[in-house]
Amino acid sequence: MRNYFVFVLLCLTATTWAQKKKPAANADKFAGVEAELQQVLKDWHAAGFAVAVVEKNKVVFSKGFGVRDLDTKQPVTPNTLFAIGSCTKAFTSTLVGQLVADGKFTYDEPVRNYLPELKFFNNDMNNSITMRDMMSHRTGLPRHDLSWYLNPSDNRDSLLQRIQFMEPTHRPKEKYQYNNFMFFAQGYVVEKFSRQSWEKNMLDKIFKPLGMTRSNMPYSAVKADSNLASPYSYSTDSTIKKVPHYNIGGMGPAGAVYSSVLDMSKWVQAWIYGGKYNGQTVVPAVHFKEATSGQMTTGAGIPEQDVAFMSGGDYGFGWTLSSYRGHYQVEHGGAIDGFIATTAFFPNDSIGIVVLSNQDSRTVPAIVRRILTDRALGLSPIDWNKRNLDAVAKAKATNAAAGANTKPVTVRSAQRMSHKLATYEGLYTHPAYGTYDVFVQHDSLWLRTSRNTYWLNNWHYDFFYPVEIIAGEKIDTSAQGGQSFRFNTNISGDIESLQAFGFEAPNIQLVFTKAAKAKALSKADLEQYTGSYQLGNMLAKVYIKNENTLYVEVPGQPPYELAFTGEHKFVFKAVAGFALQFEAPVAGKAPAVTFLQPHGNYKANRQ
């Protein structure tokens, strides 16, 4: 399984810049920048990106680079639509801020006071988590992103119900931990108070007042647009490859918006002017102040000497706050399959920068943003492109040297599995992560979510590495990614659950409970098992109900529905760990049945 949360980090190796002479104040700030950005595009083999630079209430520079589609070679323009991912969050929190300004609730009362249907993992969280906590990623919840990414849903009620089963790693207000579900929940609040969808609120209360006529959500609303960028990713052989647009579904408030740099420039202008655009308030003053103020520190430690000019790291409401070369920066990135975005503004300088790209590497947008920022602020130039190219080359050399000194790991044979392949088959469910279908195909075990399919690479015994099946790419049979699975057995030796590792923090146990896959049998087939069986001093009855469902009834207990799992075995659908194992029918009837139970097995002969 690909690690969806590992991105290229900009490595800012030291170069001397303080001695360089600042450009003259009246010089053209953007002279030669197009060639510089074209070089970035070339050096990083990027598909395309668009940029816009805002100064006060004007767009002073905007341009598209590269192509929006590698097949058609159509160029990127300032009006090209890109998915902006988590840059959506500041929009959603602004809708909440409008409700706060209207007196609907406050940032600091427990959110369950006005949204009781939102339940958390424990009462400490239920009683103390506020909207301020949700907006600043300090609820105690880690990401839990594979809940929505691998099992997306358009049903926001069902997504909200998942949250109560998500285990925290810290107490509320204790630590910054990014969480998309908390911004989804903000959208849910907006819908409850407005009695309209989050999407309708976005259109009516933000896009229309700002004149953001190109912006919309979700993908289904923009897919027919003639100037829509195609998403790209690096494949396993490091070539660029088109990927599908990801339908984020009900999680839209956390990252569903598609926009252009010219539309986003209007959004940035509103923030530069304290929340107003053309004299109309879009971001209420109370929200503007809180959103651009540090609510939670994002990390600890003193910056390294060579990057001391880039310091700080707080989170506001949908914005990250820091100091960039002595200038107060408000910024947020966005990432969704095949797209990376970055939106920034400098409130004390009345400058804004937007970079949208159609390739899932954070490096290019960050380099481009810093090049444009240095020019817009009139700062001494830094060769951000070279710094990062050098850093990547150094990292590759280090990794290659480390690999040369590492002994290859021997992959244990799949023959070491402790059970037959068929016994692993089943539907494995976690209340927050949904159901995974484990099945046998040819001589291998596979796992399917509602979105992806994985080949399970057996490491040893009941431990497997999932390898994503990507169309057009070969399966890497040696792959060992960041995620893994272990099948657990009960005291009877049967597979009862699937435990996931690498999905979240090590101290979080994600266990998916197994349910056998019911296999359809005809009424004639089921009749082989019907009848009365002597179980000790009791007579157990097995019978058919509703034409195609087998039941067992023992005196003093309710009837239990059975599900056929193969080889004359039926499991109790409502009681885990209990099953009936019939002997092979003779002359059309099973001569005996064994009751398989956690505390023992009991044979009953046909009467």
Q: Each residue of 327-355: pLDDT tens digit?
A: 999 999 999 999 999 999 999 999 999 99
Chain-centroid distance, C-alpha 178: 11
With contact defined as beta carbons under 8 Å apart, do 483 and 459 qualify?
no
Based on its alpha-carbon atoms, the radius of gyration of the chain, rounded to whole angstroms, reads 29
With contact defined as beta carbons under 8 Å apart, do 372 and 33 qualify?
yes
**CB-based contacts of 593, cutoff 8 Å, min separation 6:** 529, 533, 540, 542, 580, 581, 582, 583, 603, 604, 606
- Output the CA angle 289-295-298, nearest 5 degrees: 135
Distance in angstroms (rounded) separating the CA atoms of residues 420 and 415? 9
Distance in angstroms (rounded) separating the CA atoms of residues 431 and 165? 6
Residue with tokens 């799992």: 565
Q: CATH topology of 414-515 equal to that of 523-606?
A: yes
Which portions of the chain are predicted below pLDDT 50?
Answer: 2-27, 414
User: What is the predicted pLDDT for the residue at 402?
Assistant: 76
Q: What is the largest CA-CA distance in the chain?
A: 102
User: What is the predicted pLDDT for the residue at 364?
Assistant: 96
User: What is the predicted pLDDT for the residue at 7?
Assistant: 32
Domain ranges in the chain are 33-397, 414-515, 523-606
* Residue from 353, 309, 343 nearest 327 by CA: 309
pTM equals 0.84
With contact defined as beta carbons under 8 Å apart, do 98 and 187 qualify?
no
With contact defined as beta carbons under 8 Å apart, do 563 and 516 qualify?
yes
Residue with tokens 């990376």: 340
> Residue 467 pairs with which residues in a beta bridge?
455
The CATH code that applies to domain 523-606 is: 2.40.128.50
User: What is the predicted pLDDT for the residue at 599?
Assistant: 75
User: What is the predicted pLDDT for the residue at 32?
Assistant: 95
User: What is the predicted pLDDT for the residue at 310?
Assistant: 66
User: What is the predicted pLDDT for the residue at 77?
Assistant: 99
The CATH code that applies to domain 33-397 is: 3.40.710.10
Q: Looking at the structure, give the CATH architecture of the domain made up of residues 414-515.
A: Beta Barrel (2.40)
- Output the CA angle 153-486-180, nearest 5 degrees: 30
* Residue from 226, 181, 252, 250 nearest 72 by CA: 226
- Torsion angles phi and psi, residue 427, rounded to 5: -105, 120
Scanning 377-520, the segments in alpha helix (DSSP H) are: 384-404, 421-424
User: What is the predicted pLDDT for the residue at 307?
Assistant: 57
Distance in angstroms (rounded) separating the CA atoms of residues 201 and 195? 10
**CB-based contacts of 398, cutoff 8 Å, min separation 6:** none
User: What is the predicted pLDDT for the residue at 9?
Assistant: 33
215-235 core/surface letters (b: 16 or more CB in 10 A; e: else): bbbbbeebeeeebbbbbbbee
